[in-house]
Each structure stands twice: as C-alpha cells, then as structure tokens.
Amino acid sequence: MTETTCDICEEHCEHPERIGCAKAGMLPDTTILQLVETFKILGDATRIKILCVLAQQEMCVCDIAETLAMGQSAISHQLRVLRSARLVKYRREGKAAWYSLDDDHVVDLMKRGLEHVSHT
C-alpha cells in the first residue's frame, strides 16, 4: 500500500448502524461553533500563560503583567478576550481589577490539555 492510500478504505463500504449512531451523537452546529471559538481563544500562548497564573491564585492586572513581563495594556486586551469567552472573571476592589478563572471547568479543561500533551 502506498503512503497516499493507507489512510482510506480500499473499497467503498458503509455501515448504516455506525452512521446512524454518529449522526445521533452529533453536537448542534451552534455548540460546535462555540467550541471552535473557545479553542481558537486557547490557541494563544499569552492567554494560556494568563490562565496558568490565574489557576494558582486571583491576581490583579498589574501583577499579571509583571509576572509575564508584559505591558498592562497587552494583558488587559487578552483578559477582555478571555472574559468574553467566559474563561476568566473579574471584580473591582477600589482601583484594582482582580481576575480569576471563571469556574472549575476552566481548570479541568487545562488539566485535560496538559494530560494530552504530556502523554507519551
């Protein structure tokens, strides 16, 4: 078998039961699009770094910027993106904006991703 044909069936065949199960288990298009957007947002190194530091503790924008050796405006922009995707939340305390992960699902998502990339 050549390299170009090893990943396809040698002859056309369909398995109706499997097709039916697969179709029944498909996610709605709106859910798929939401998932796609979430993974797009997670496809940025700075955002992953922010999520990593926030997985440890709540932090203000100044502290996140200092930890990542970046400017506050760049961090603020990334936090807005993460907040719009409901991955982080914030609260005001005086003049400071404190950020934390939105909920435990974000931690679980990161743990699963780490397990996947660490798996050999």
Is residue 104 in some structural domain? yes
Q: Residue 110's closest CA among 28, 59, 53?
A: 53
**Residue 3 reports pLDDT greater than 60:** no
pTM score, two decimals? 0.83
Is residue 103 in some structural domain? yes
Tokens of 83: 């907040």
Is residue 56 in some structural domain? yes
3-class DSSP state for residue 14?
A: coil
CATH of the domain at 96: 1.10.10.10
Residue 61: predicted pLDDT: 95
DSSP state of 58: -
Q: Report the number of distinct structural domains present in the chain.
A: 1
Host domain of residue 97: 29-118
What average pLDDT does the chain have?
93
- 120 falls in which pLDDT band (50, 70, 90)? confident
Query: What distance in Å separates the CA atoms of residue 64 and residue 76, rounded to the nearest whole number?
Result: 9
Query: What distance in Å separates the CA atoms of residue 97 and residue 61, rounded to the nearest whole number?
Result: 6
3-class DSSP state for residue 10?
A: coil
Q: Provide mean pLDDT across the span 59-88.
A: 97
